[in-house]
């Protein structure tokens, strides 16, 4: 099993054609059968003597106990904290879990090791950061693209907030363990990667319209990883180890691409805004969480529908669009909608609009002028989007959720996530473009009709 796609980018720094120097400090990627056996030697080589292991009941059984036994045999002193997984759901990465880790903290430990991929990874990465120690990750499933990441999304006061975190200096994956993960988790990881089709288009779109920094090299690295993942969906469905290897590499490359660009642009666009929006609603409603990548997959189908629609669209009447700006909903009406949709999180959204002015008439006028001038270029970009139906079919191949109702997202939340998901971040995407040309509300209705007919 080769790591050929990743090797050139480990601990790398290069001058790029885009004019920037791209850098990633992530250096050690071990993906091989029995990979955990290499932990003691790796620690010795890196100069660490006493790890503090963090796992939960599930991941401890999958790989944590094995890591402990290996350390014991090698006479490496360590301490280990196993968080209790709730009976019927997953552990949340929130202040309670973090408090549990803090209370079990081993002050003598010189490195933090998380055993697990989702919650435990987020918690460990953040705990390393706040206690100023390096971080190492033993992955248990290729279920999301935060394997190599310098931020941690955590739940604080029922709100999902992205905190700075310690990027792992090494990632250890045993393909036997990764491939044995439930298909639901493999499919979620793949869907998180398929979402990059949309986010790369969003990035380029913003470059065309706002002259935002864009790098062809980074986008190219990501696109190759997505194409390869697309081709191995069938293999994932049968837990094939080669397919899992391709997927894990794509997930790691996604983190490296973010290191290179210095933000999450190459890995997160409107499809992630859909996922975040629904996740917030689940938190407000106190309903069980759904895997991140699963939601991203559903959001990707919807957002690609918008690109497909754009590719078929006739040139808008720009003079009319300009004339009608004054009849768009007022800021007061918009604020009312934000309070309805974002509930206790509304203040932050309203604050963001004050600094970003995404919806202010001046910005809209400026963008309409650019969209008018570059309409053909924008349509040509939209024509590069894969068909939503194609991604839908790939998700189906993996038995993954592909319609909102598959994971209990009601019709109203879909309508609102399409209309207002863009308010979550100051990031130009297909959602803002459709809003700019006055097409977003009608598109939301069309998509609700097409994808939410079950309710
Ligand atoms: Zn570049
Ligand atoms: Zn993601």
Joined together, the tokens standing for residue 147 give 């394997």
Give the mean pLDDT of the chain: 95
List, for residues 299-340, the tens digit of each pLDDT value.
999 999 999 999 999 999 999 999 999 999 999 999 999 999
| Nearest ligand to the C-alpha atom of residue 188 | 2
CB 203 within 8 A of CB 266: yes
Confidence of residue 3 (pLDDT cuts 50, 70, 90): low
Phi, psi angles (nearest 5°) of residue 172: -115, 120
| Nearest ligand to the C-alpha atom of residue 269 | 2
Q: Where are the domains of the chain?
A: 32-180, 184-451
**By C-alpha distance, which of 253, 258, 257, 231 is closest to 386?**
231
What fold is seen in the domain 32-180?
Answer: Rossmann fold (3.40.50)
pLDDT of residue 88: 66
List, for residues 194-226, the tens digit of each pLDDT value.
999 999 999 999 999 999 999 999 999 999 999
pLDDT of residue 4: 62
Percentage of residues of the chain with pLDDT beyond 70: 98
pLDDT of residue 85: 85
pTM for this entry: 0.95
List, for residues 130-149, the tens digit of each pLDDT value.
999 999 999 999 999 989 98
Residue 256, pLDDT above cutoff 90: yes
Confidence of residue 1 (pLDDT cuts 50, 70, 90): very low
| Nearest ligand to the C-alpha atom of residue 218 | 1
CA distance 379 to 313: 8
Residue 89, pLDDT above cutoff 80: no
| Nearest ligand to the C-alpha atom of residue 265 | 2
Half-sphere exposure of 162 (CA within 13 A, CB side): 9
CA distance 123 to 93: 6
Residue 450, pLDDT above cutoff 80: yes
| Nearest ligand to the C-alpha atom of residue 262 | 1
Burial class of residue 4, CB neighbours in 10 A (0-12, 13-18, 19+)? exposed
| Nearest ligand to the C-alpha atom of residue 198 | 2
Long-range contacts of 163-166 (CB under 8 A, 24+ apart): 163/126, 163/129, 164/129, 165/122, 165/125, 165/126, 165/128, 165/129, 166/112, 166/125, 166/126, 166/128, 166/129, 166/133, 166/134, 166/135
| Nearest ligand to the C-alpha atom of residue 21 | 1
Which residues have their alpha-adjacent CB atom under 5 A from ion ligand 2? 145, 192
List, for residues 361-418, the tens digit of each pLDDT value.
999 999 999 999 999 999 999 999 999 999 999 999 999 999 999 999 999 999 999 9
Residue 422, pLDDT above cutoff 50: yes
pLDDT of residue 2: 46
Give all strands (DSSP E) within 79-195, no chain letters: 79-83, 111-115, 135-139, 151-156, 159-164, 170-173
DSSP assignments along 373-391, one per residue? HTHHHHHHHHHTSPPHHHH
The alpha carbon of 300 and the centre of ligand 2 are apart by a number of angstroms equal to 11
The alpha carbon of 26 and the centre of ligand 1 are apart by a number of angstroms equal to 18
pLDDT of residue 161: 86
Residue with tokens 């609700």: 448
Residues forming beta bridges with residue 115, ordered by sequence position: 138
List, for residues 177-197, the tens digit of each pLDDT value.
999 999 999 999 999 999 999
Joined together, the tokens standing for residue 107 give 């002050």
Phi, psi angles (nearest 5°) of residue 263: -155, -175
The alpha carbon of 272 and the centre of ligand 2 are apart by a number of angstroms equal to 6
- The highest-level CATH class for domain 184-451 is mainly alpha
The alpha carbon of 15 and the centre of ligand 1 are apart by a number of angstroms equal to 8
The alpha carbon of 214 and the centre of ligand 1 are apart by a number of angstroms equal to 8
List, for residues 28-85, the tens digit of each pLDDT value.
999 999 999 999 999 999 999 999 999 999 999 999 999 999 999 999 999 999 999 8
List, for residues 335-363, the tens digit of each pLDDT value.
999 999 999 999 999 999 999 999 999 99
């Amino acid at each position: 099993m080769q790591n050929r796609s990743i090797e050139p980018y480990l601990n790398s720094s290069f001058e790029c054609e885009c004019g920037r120097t791209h850098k990633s400090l992530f250096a050690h990627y071990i993906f091989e059968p029995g990979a955990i056996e290499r932990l003691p030697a790796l620690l010795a080589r890196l100069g660490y003597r006493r790890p503090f292991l963090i796992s939960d009941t599930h991941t401890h059984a999958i790989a944590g106990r094995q890591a402990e036994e290996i350390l014991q045999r090698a006479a490496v002193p360590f301490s280990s904290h196993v968080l209790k997984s709730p009976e019927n759901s997953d552990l949340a990465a929130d202040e309670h879990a973090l408090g549990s880790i803090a209370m079990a903290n081993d002050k003598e430990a010189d490195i933090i090791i998380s055993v697990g991929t989702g919650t435990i990874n987020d918690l460990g990465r953040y705990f390393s950061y706040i206690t100023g120690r390096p971080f190492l990750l033993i992955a248990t499933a290729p279920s999301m693209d935060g394997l190599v990441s310098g931020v941690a999304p955590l739940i604080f006061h029922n709100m999902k907030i992205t905190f700075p975190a310690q990027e792992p200096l090494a990632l250890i994956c045993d393909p036997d363990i990764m491939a044995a993960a439930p298909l639901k988790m493999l499919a979620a990881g793949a869907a998180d990667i398929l979402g990059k089709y949309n986010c790369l288009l969003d990035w380029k779109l913003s470059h065309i319209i706002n002259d935002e920094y864009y790098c062809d090299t980074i986008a190219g690295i990501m696109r190759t990883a997505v194409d390869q993942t697309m081709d191995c969906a069938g293999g994932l469905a049968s837990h094939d180890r080669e397919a899992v290897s391709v997927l894990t590499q794509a997930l790691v490359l996604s983190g490296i691409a973010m290191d290179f660009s210095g933000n999450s642009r190459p890995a997160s666009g409107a499809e992630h805004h859909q996922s975040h929006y629904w996740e917030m609603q689940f938190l407000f409603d106190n309903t069980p969480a759904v895997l991140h990548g699963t939601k991203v997959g559903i959001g990707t189908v919807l957002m690609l529908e918008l690109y497909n629609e754009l590719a078929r669209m006739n040139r808008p009447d720009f003079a009319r669009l300009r004339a009608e700006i004054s009849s768009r909903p007022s800021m007061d009406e918009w604020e009312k909608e934000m309070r309805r949709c974002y509930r206790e999180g509304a203040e932050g959204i309203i604050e963001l609009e004050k600094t970003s002015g995404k919806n202010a008439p001046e910005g809209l006028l400026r963008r309409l002028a650019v969209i008018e001038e570059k309409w053909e270029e924008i349509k040509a970009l939209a024509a590069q989007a894969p068909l939503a139906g194609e991604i839908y079919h790939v998700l189906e191949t993996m038995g993954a959720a592909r319609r909102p109702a598959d994971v209990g997202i009601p019709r109203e939340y879909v309508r609102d996530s399409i209309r207002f998901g863009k308010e979550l971040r100051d990031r130009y995407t297909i959602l803002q473009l459709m809003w700019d040309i006055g097409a977003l509300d009608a598109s939301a209705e069309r998509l609700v009709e097409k994808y939410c007919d079950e309710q």
